Structure 1
Amino acid sequence: MDALAITLEKFWSDSSSLLMKAEACKEIANVPKASVIFETSGSTGIPRKIVLSKQGLMVSAANVNAHLKVSAASVWGLCLPIWHVGGFAVPVRCYQAGCRLSIYSGRWDALESAKWLEREKVTHASMVPTQIFDIVKLGLRAPKSLIAIVVGGGQLAETIGQDARKLGWPVLASYGMTEAGSQIATQALEELAQPYCMDRLSILPCWKTRTNENSILEICGEPLLLGELVEERDGEKTFHPRASAWFTTSDRVELDDHWMSISGRADALVKIMGELVSPQRVTQALIALGMNPASFAVLAMPDERRENRLVLAYDAKDSSDWLCLMENYQQQAPGYEQINEAIAVSEIPRSALGKILIDELRNHLSS
């Protein structure tokens, strides 16, 4: 499917349901009408098919557009694949706002993307952290037309975000997921005047939020998934509707009125020498020291003595001085957050949006 088709009335008036795939889209019969199905694996690598309603996607688009002050005069730039909800949501917002869509074509290139943004006078865009890193690494100045870049699909290191803002790039931290049809919380435009940080995100009005006894976020709202398309043992695909109005995420958060602070994934903390350790926090510390986020991953591996040990898997093709950077980190990190082993790999497995597939990488290192 062409992204421009999503901006047309014909797509929204059609009651058929589509499965979005990289190679081609196809109609699906045994799910609710007027829905869109996205294949996702998050960071676990376990494939799932999430069913979203077209109406829910439109509600999400309306809330995002209002939050970012999008009007009919705006221009949304698309540089993400539309078979992922983060990319699909961009032309949906164009249809909802009645504004123009500009599509970046070809293989991702930071310099070419900056030229495209300036040439097309793009005002709003969604990008993933690796794209922002590439832009900052080249020291590219932002086009004057840009009003907001929503950063999703992973956490952008604060140092990279701060450098991006210094170069004029209006990067806004966001929190969302496929099950929510895109964003749940996003920084406000007013926060662009401050140094970039992930401390507080503004919850979009379409969402009700609460936490359970373990501080895990639960969400309720019209954009929420209808259910999942599950392949049974006999090969048949069956629609499993959502069991409750509320959906429990995998993230620990702190809520304060309409604000949200992300503490991290509940399943990402590991015990090392009796201490709870976040591999994500170690990753952010290494990025802050200058390590390329596209070329390494930190993960916990089982250890008889320490319960778990931290392993740095790095891309063997990367030419940066990772050893020196790791030594700098080791000098300042407490013992339980030290890297215990560094392993060169031929490739860091990632999703199409750049998310590291942790389970796949862990299985590779264990084999």
Structure 2
Amino acid sequence: MGTSFMKSLARPLVFRTKDSGKELAKYWKRTRDSLWLEPLLTSKEKSLLADLISRTSMDPRPWVWFSSSGSTSDGGLKFFAHTRESLTAAARGANQHLRTSSEDVVVNFLPLFHVGGFSTWLRSELGGYTWKHRPLKKWSPSKAWEVLNSEEATLTSLVPTQIHDLVSLNLNAPRSLRAVIIGGGKLDSDLYRKARALGWLLLPSYGMTELGSQVATASLKSVNLDEVFVEDSDSYTLTWLPHITQIQKCDGKWRIQSPACATLKVQISPEKAFSLELFQRNGEVFVEDELIVDGKNRTLQALGRKDEVVKVKGELVSLNQLTSKLKSYVARFFDGTLEFEICNFSHPRLENELVLFLEQKGLFEMHPHFLKIQKLLKEFNSQQKPWERIVRVEWLPQFTRSPLGKVKKNLLASQFEDCCLED
């Protein structure tokens, strides 16, 4: 395993060109080699990782490695190794759910080293339909809209940030587009409604690198409804994909059974310490996300990650739900243009205190809308329970984001502390 693995690590597959699908197909068929779809590690780090794996007694099958879009709690990186069989199971399940045919044209803007982008290619290979990789050097909603129209795309995958940008420009969905799979973050209900009003047929999804991309996705029937949004739970009703065999509670975690499970997991700490573990043995993974699962009807609602539910004054507070509430105020006060995140800081008396972070260069007091933000918060807090109130506002010059543009919330606190030390 060591030699071929070293080759794949020494030459990671980083796709930037329009014909990268042909190159990827060539590597995919080289079933004796492992593929490393991650451009972030240095040559030294790749060598260290290859040596670590070559010295283990793990199954020597060639792997396809992906970095997770989320980082570890200490700001490190984590990677998952799939077999070609597990990724194929996930891709076939997605094709079945989306009812793809040879007439489909998929345009992909997502990076191919991310499981979300890679899976769009594999689905097209297995489904026999057209796949066009159109990476933009810098994300541009107007350029993306032009590409979707010119290529007559029928399907694409986008993240909530990208939908926000398209809606902000008031761009109507291309007529050829029959569905947009949304992943990589929580889709705000207000944004969902605005996008639907412009003709964007959005299918919110719940997925993870560990399971080869999608686990559950809104049904195609939902594109013909006014909304799939569940008012009472601040979430969406999603249908399990065909390759998901079971989701059930087990010792406080959700056990997801599927042939699409990753096999190995590697974590790299900020100090560059490596650890490798066998991730699953029996085709099942355990997650701690907040889910509402209906096994009989094979549906679920994803409320957020467990670490996004915190205790304040002994009461549980969902940061996701609080963020959704605040977004409705932001939409009214700022037309939705204010970049913010709600985070929690440990507090000796309250357990946790809720802090609003703004993406702002310079002092908050110098913010052009300082007084309006103060008014917004006063009104917002007056309508929340005592333990749901935001106690202060902080700012950062720039939020740390993943390659898909998702804010890495678990790094904001340490990023803020670093900024304070620099000051």
TM over 0.5: yes
CA contact (8 A) 2:180 2:203 kept: yes
Measured after TM superposition, the shift of residue 305 of structure 1 is: 2.2
Are residue 8 (structure 1) and residue 48 (structure 2) matched?
A: no
Are residue 308 (structure 1) and residue 348 (structure 2) matched?
A: no
2:87 to 57, 81, 87: 57
Normalization by structure 2: what TM-score? 0.79
Are residue 83 (structure 1) and residue 108 (structure 2) matched?
A: no
2:67 to 39, 46, 52: 39
CA contact (8 A) 1:17 1:32 kept: no
When structure 1 is superposed on structure 2, of 344-353 and 159-168 the one drifting more is 344-353
CA contact (8 A) 2:38 2:66 kept: yes
Separation of aligned partners in 1, 2:268 and 2:316: 36
1:148 to 179, 197, 203: 179
Question: Could you say which residue in structure 2 is the equivalent of 1:20?
Answer: 37
AA aligned to 1:108 is W
1:293–1:276 Cα change, 3 Å: farther
Measured after TM superposition, the shift of residue 349 of structure 1 is: 1.2
- RMSD, aligned CA: 2.7
AA aligned to 2:325 is A
Separation of aligned partners in 2, 1:294 and 1:47: 29
When structure 1 is superposed on structure 2, of 23-32 and 92-101 the one drifting more is 23-32
Measured after TM superposition, the shift of residue 244 of structure 1 is: 4.3
1:213–1:220 Cα change, 3 Å: closer
Measured after TM superposition, the shift of residue 345 of structure 1 is: 0.9
Measured after TM superposition, the shift of residue 132 of structure 1 is: 0.7
Measured after TM superposition, the shift of residue 134 of structure 1 is: 0.7
Are residue 299 (structure 1) and residue 346 (structure 2) matched?
A: no
- Name segments (4+ residues, structure 1) moved above 6 Å: 24-27, 231-237
Measured after TM superposition, the shift of residue 37 of structure 1 is: 0.5
Deviations 1:175-219 (A, max 9, x none): 000000100000011111221423311001111223325663211
Deviations 1:20-42 (A, max 9, x none): 12369989674643421012251
1:179–1:139 Cα change, 3 Å: same
CA contact (8 A) 2:69 2:209 kept: no
Measured after TM superposition, the shift of residue 66 of structure 1 is: 1.4
User: Which 5+ residue runs of structure 1 have no aligned equivalent?
Assistant: none
May I ask how many residue pairs the two structures share in their alignment?
Answer: 367
Are residue 137 (structure 1) and residue 168 (structure 2) matched?
A: yes
Q: Secondary structure at the match of 1:217?
A: strand
Separation of aligned partners in 1, 2:40 and 2:267: 20
1:108 to 121, 126, 139: 139
When structure 1 is superposed on structure 2, of 30-39 and 116-125 the one drifting more is 30-39
CA contact (8 A) 1:6 1:92 kept: no
2:304 to 240, 259, 264: 264
Are residue 164 (structure 1) and residue 164 (structure 2) matched?
A: no
Separation of aligned partners in 1, 2:112 and 2:340: 26
Identity among equivalent pairs (%)? 28
1:89–1:325 Cα change, 3 Å: farther
More strand by share: 1
Equivalences for residues 206-355 of structure 1 within 5 A? 206-212=243-249, 216-229=253-266, 238=276, 240-256=278-294, 257=296, 258-289=298-329, 290=331, 292=336, 295-317=339-361, 322-355=373-406
User: Which 5+ residue runs of structure 2 have no aligned equivalent?
Assistant: 1-12, 230-234, 362-366, 419-423
Normalization by structure 1: what TM-score? 0.91
When structure 1 is superposed on structure 2, of 41-50 and 72-81 the one drifting more is 41-50
Measured after TM superposition, the shift of residue 139 of structure 1 is: 1.0
Deviations 1:78-136 (A, max 9, x none): 11111111111111111111111122232111111111100001111111110011111
Q: Secondary structure at the match of 1:160?
A: helix
When structure 1 is superposed on structure 2, of 41-50 and 92-101 the one drifting more is 41-50
More helix by share: 2
CA contact (8 A) 1:186 1:203 kept: yes
Q: Secondary structure at the match of 1:162?
A: helix
